[in-house]
Amino acid sequence: MVVVLIAAAAVGFVAIADAGACVCVDAPLSKRLDDADAAIVGRVVAERSGESKGEPQRLLTVEVDQQVKGNADGTIVVRSPSGSDCDLLVARDEPIGLLLTRAPDDAWLGTACSVVAPGQLVAEGGEPRGGVIKVGIGLVILGLVILWALRRLRRGARPELPGAPGS
């Protein structure tokens, strides 16, 4: 009987703890990226406390390393709740992916639900890198093949293939 009471109390504590947890949208990253106003990969370089409409906030200064979506570049300030289950708690100077929302006063907003893995964010929404280099290499290869073909054409050298007409 005592074991049942202890188990019931443990389940009750877990349920109470989960009731206060931050609830994030359970959607694929592509949908979350579409819904975000901006998506960045950056590093938190500074943090300070603030207040908005009487509510405590954390103001995170983020240095943007890569802009995946939107116009958040350079160094931006991200507002986050403070003292709630949805606080944006991240390590300083570590790469982080953030899906941000634009507030009516043009400030960037983020919560614990805004955090995504930087690699996944870039893979999902980043622009392909090296496009110009790939085109350049392709043109060089094409030029070499054309030069080789023209050289063979001028020399009149034809391979002797078994079973080919004229052999």
- Could you give the residue ranges of the DSSP H alpha helices within 20-65? 29-35
Q: Which domain covers residue 115, as residue numbers?
A: 26-125
Instruction: Convert the pLDDT of each residue in 96-109 to its tens digit.
Output: 999 999 989 888 99
Backbone angles phi, psi at 26, to 5 degrees: -95, 85
Percent of the chain with pLDDT over 90: 25
Ranking 7-16, 101-110, 138-147 by mean pLDDT, the lowest is: 7-16
Is pLDDT above 70 for 89? yes
Ranking 70-74, 106-110, 141-145 by mean pLDDT, the lowest is: 70-74
Q: Is residue 14 part of a domain?
A: no
- Could you give the residue ranges of the DSSP H alpha helices within 2-156? 2-19, 29-35, 118-125, 131-155
Q: Is residue 4 part of a domain?
A: no
Q: Is residue 137 part of a domain?
A: no
Q: Is residue 149 part of a domain?
A: no
Q: Is residue 113 part of a domain?
A: yes
Q: Is residue 165 part of a domain?
A: no
Q: What is the pLDDT of residue 6?
A: 47
Q: Say if CB 77 and CB 98 are below 8 A apart.
A: no
Q: How many domains does the chain have?
A: 1
CATH classification at residue 109: 2.40.50.120
Q: Is residue 107 part of a domain?
A: yes
Q: Is residue 56 part of a domain?
A: yes
Write out the H or E segment, with its range, that includes residue 42. Answer: strand 38-52
